Amino acid sequence: MIGLINDVGTAWAAYFGPVVLQNTMFVAVILIVLYLLRNASARLRYTMGLIGIVKLLLPPFVPIRPSESTSAVLVPLSQLVPGAAPVAGISGPGPQAAVERLEWAGVLFAVWLGVTAIYIVGTVLSTVRLRLALREASDITETMAPQYVGDTLIRLCESRRIAMPLTVGLRPTKIFVPTVWRQWSDDCRGMILRHEVAHIRRRDGVAQALQILAQSLYFFHPLVWYLNRRIHEYREMACDDAAAGRATDTRLRYSEHLANIAESAVLSPLTGDSVSALLRRKHELLKRIQYQLKEGKMNSLSRFRTALMIAGLALLVVPLSGYIGTSAPGDHAGDAQEGTTKDDGMRHVTVGIVSSEKIKVDGTSTSMSGLKEHILANLEIDPENAVLRVVCDDSTPMGALFDAQRVLAELDLLKVSYMSDNYEAFPLVLPSRQLEEKMKEIPAQHIAKLVIDRSGGVLLEGRKIELVELDKVVKERISDDPMLIVSLHADREATYGQYVSALHQLKKGGAQRIFVNNSPS
């Protein structure tokens, strides 16, 4: 279980870390825009804020291919431990590796998942509790009460359990008002009703649900908290605009009504709300009053400038929506780029293998029978300074890979890097003929024979184990024998995806000595 949490945590950190950084930059831009629009209408500021929420929930969609410099550096043949081919770039743990412990990525993921779940569940329970409390609400049948939003009749209900008018749900059909509703003037009740109907018409329930989801995912982020508070204020102010209209006298009357409601909310008996919640709502009402009083002096933006600003933010989403991608094997194997020489002085040659009859070397088509001649005739490769990037479909049979690797071994091209959609590049050094002979001299007790059968099953010393448990088993074996060599063989009908998955499980288990056994013996 700990191993699974560590695996998921590592993948989550690699994905979520860049997302947080990019979204932090975008939210910062949104807040700057909101500051520049501080004298604009609440509706415009609300729209800008919602763009920030959508960006927070938008998964990254722009692939970023990692640079070759991030790949593990291959170990030269001169550094090989006699009798084994070590996996390059692995700093394997020592004998204590058998004791599993949570890594920092696993801990962070567990905390993040737990708090996010608590936040979402808590919100759902609060909504359910509010709905249960409002079940005893009674309908108000005055003539002014019924309202239609589209084809939906909006009912008005009175409840002693609340202190402020409200609606509940994504698409509410009821407006709930407190019992002091009857003490308000007809003008006040009409304006408040228009305010709540505006919430329903604008689908503010859906927007609020998106805010809750964004806040749960970014509970640790102060800028997200601040943005959500601003959006809440702008939403209420925008509905106030719909309720009060444009006339100065109605805005003044509406502000007076808000002030009276704020006082009655604090003086009302404590029902479902705490004192702090009521005081906070009073403070929010006072800010809405200030907005109504200064609305006539606000700057207005033309539709063109507004559209230009929204388009600019939409375009900014693209460069801030990147994720780390990998080179695509399989059907893309034929599109492999030409070999290049990197800053490390190594010549990188891409070998795309789909089947024995369909192979491409640096984009040029060939077959297994012509692979050797093609390399000799068309490529000037120094074996000591060449790395073969093997690009395959996950479904490519291992028989085709073994045949290709035999050809590479005959040419002393032993440094390979397995490319996969699901994993980072896996570099290693293939065994030479001399190394294969030396393996026969290694005592059997120091060799763990690992076989992947044609169905993808994993056999370690003849005992079948689950692939997800391979790293744990290997850790235990290494703790007993730190010099353990894992001899890995796959059936010719096994798939490349299964083979690479097993290699990465060995890496997790701390195996530093992996012998690539291409023969069934």
Tens digits of residue pLDDT in 156-209: 899 988 888 899 989 898 999 888 888 888 888 888 888 999 999 999 999 999
95 near 79, Cβ under 8 Å? Answer: no
Place of tokens 């929506």: 321
Cα 311 to Cα 316: distance, rounded to the nearest angstrom: 9
**Mean pLDDT of the chain, nearest integer:** 80
Q: Both tokens of residue 301?
A: 């933006």
Instruction: Please tell me the pTM assigned to this model.
Output: 0.60
pLDDT at residue 274 greater than cutoff 60: no
Average pLDDT over residues 310-322: 89
**Strands 322-324, 463-465: pairing kind:** unpaired
Percent over 90 (pLDDT), the chain? 22
Q: Please state which of the four CATH numbers 2.60.60.20, 2.160.20.10, 3.30.420.270, 3.20.130.10 is assigned to the domain occupying 431-521.
A: 3.30.420.270
Average pLDDT over residues 60-86: 45
The more confident residue out of 322 and 344 is: 322
Tens digits of residue pLDDT in 475-517: 888 888 888 888 888 898 999 888 888 888 888 888 888 888 8
Using a 10 angstrom Cβ sphere, with 0-12 exposed, 13-18 middle and 19 or more buried, the burial of residue 465 is middle
Q: Both tokens of residue 400?
A: 């085709």
495 near 398, Cβ under 8 Å? Answer: yes
Contacts of 272 (CB under 8 A, 6+ apart): 130, 133, 161, 162
**Phi/psi of residue 495, each to 5°?**
-105, 160
106 near 5, Cβ under 8 Å? Answer: yes
Tens digits of residue pLDDT in 228-245: 999 999 999 899 888 888
Closest residue by Cα to residue 428 from 85, 50, 129: 85
508 near 3, Cβ under 8 Å? Answer: yes
Q: What's the distance, CA 374 to chain centroid?
A: 43
DSSP 62: E
Band (265; pLDDT cuts 50, 70, 90): low
- CATH 3.30.420.270 region(s) of the chain? 431-521
88: left (phi over 0), alpha (psi -120 to 50) or beta: beta
Place of tokens 């093997």: 390
Tens digits of residue pLDDT in 374-426: 888 777 777 778 888 888 888 889 888 888 888 888 888 888 888 887 777 88
Residue type, 36: L
pLDDT at residue 89 greater than cutoff 50: no
129 near 149, Cβ under 8 Å? Answer: no
Closest residue by Cα to residue 91 from 68, 72, 70, 71: 72
Q: Is the torsion defined by CA of 344, 345, 346, 347 positive or negative?
A: positive
Q: Both tokens of residue 2?
A: 């700990």
Q: Both tokens of residue 39?
A: 């004298």
pLDDT at residue 47 greater than cutoff 90: yes
Percent over 70 (pLDDT), the chain? 81
